Amino acid sequence: MSAHEGARLMSSLSIVVSRPRGGMPETAFRGMAEKISAAVGEEIPFAIVSHLYDADPQGPVFQFLRELPGDLLILAPLYPRATHLVLRANGLDVELGDILNQAAARDAAAPAAGHRIAWCLDYRDFLNVHELAEHVRQFVRARSNAAAPVGPDPAPMATQWRIIEEDTRPRWYPVIDTEKCTQCYECINFCLFGVFDVDPSQLVFVAQPDACRPGCPACARVCPQGAIVFPLYSDPVIAGANGKGSGNGHGGAQFSPLTLLNPSIPPIGDYGQSPRTQAEAERQRHVSGSSAGRETASGNAQSGKTEAGKTEVPRQPPSPPDFPELDRWVDELDSWDP
């Protein structure tokens, strides 16, 4: 690819909206997507995908994102850092852009050669769709005003939505912040389930993500650098909030309808305990749960009975809580005119 072609490619932008795992009515989600699409105009390629964290790395969602040209504006029910790490863990070589920094948006007109940028936004941080759509519109406008045309405009991908659905299942696995990881191998030594390993360069990676016990964040607690993130955990720091308790700094993450409707795993253990003590208790709990499951399966086999799914007793996410003001939020979708 020539420098000219690379500059033209990287000046493009696509908007991708990740579905929530559950709890948000389809009408509300579609209304949110329609308002965002209307706010930025038909010239910006727009796509809806299944929940990013649950998507298979070789499935249609990540295949689509890997093949999508140019930079990405990702709207997902995850902290921005967590969204970026999920993208990286599933094969997208993208840098994380600071969507709150308008100067950074303007500078995106001339990114480093060969690098894609993912601008990530946690849509749970917004109390209403008007605020969310306006924020997206301002970002796109700032970026578009700064992007000088380079040769002929590339042919648009499509003026209509792309909807990439995938038959997903709830997943639970860690993602590693490689910029923070110091290769101390604490995670490898602590985890008993074979989740982590080292590559030929002796760098830690998640070798068996689906071997992780659902609901267990123990390795994140023992990591001295905070380099391990579980995007759906309820503790903001472990979920990737950069230790600030809020992904984007809007201050609405704890009260937004979208936040309260996001199914997450509640913390386990006593907050008066040290992280190491909590981690050891969590690890033992999941080891005991797996052992109990194996004993149940063994007993059923001896008695001539078999039951699928009884080899382990994973902890599953609770049902999302009801939100009494959701109807008002949906009404705001109907009344807002971009």
Could you read off the pLDDT of 168-177 as tens digits, one per residue? 999 999 999 9
pLDDT tens digits for range 66-89: 999 899 999 999 999 999 999 999
Stretch 228-232: mean pLDDT? 96
Does residue 238 carry a pLDDT above 70?
A: yes
What's the confidence (pLDDT) of residue 164? 95
Residue at 107 is within a domain: yes
Residue at 114 is within a domain: yes
- pLDDT range class, residue 107, cuts 50, 70, 90: low
What's the confidence (pLDDT) of residue 147? 53
Report the percent of the chain where pLDDT is more than 90: 49
pLDDT tens digits for range 296-319: 333 433 433 333 333 333 344 433
What's the confidence (pLDDT) of residue 310? 33
**Distance between CA atoms of 183 and 126, rounded to whole angstroms?**
37
Residue at 45 is within a domain: yes
Among 231-235, 291-295, 314-318, whose mean pLDDT is lowest?
Answer: 314-318
Q: What is the total count of domains within the chain? A: 1
Instruction: Quote the domain boundaries for residue 84.
Output: 3-169
Does residue 153 carry a pLDDT above 60?
A: no
pLDDT tens digits for range 209-222: 999 999 999 999 99
Stretch 266-288: mean pLDDT? 71
What's the confidence (pLDDT) of residue 259? 40
Residue at 36 is within a domain: yes
C-alpha dihedral (153, 5, 104, 83), degrees to nearest 10? 100
What's the confidence (pLDDT) of residue 286? 80
Q: Are residues 161 and 22 in contact, defined by beta-carbon separation less than 8 angstroms?
A: no
Residue at 277 is within a domain: no
Stretch 34-42: mean pLDDT? 91
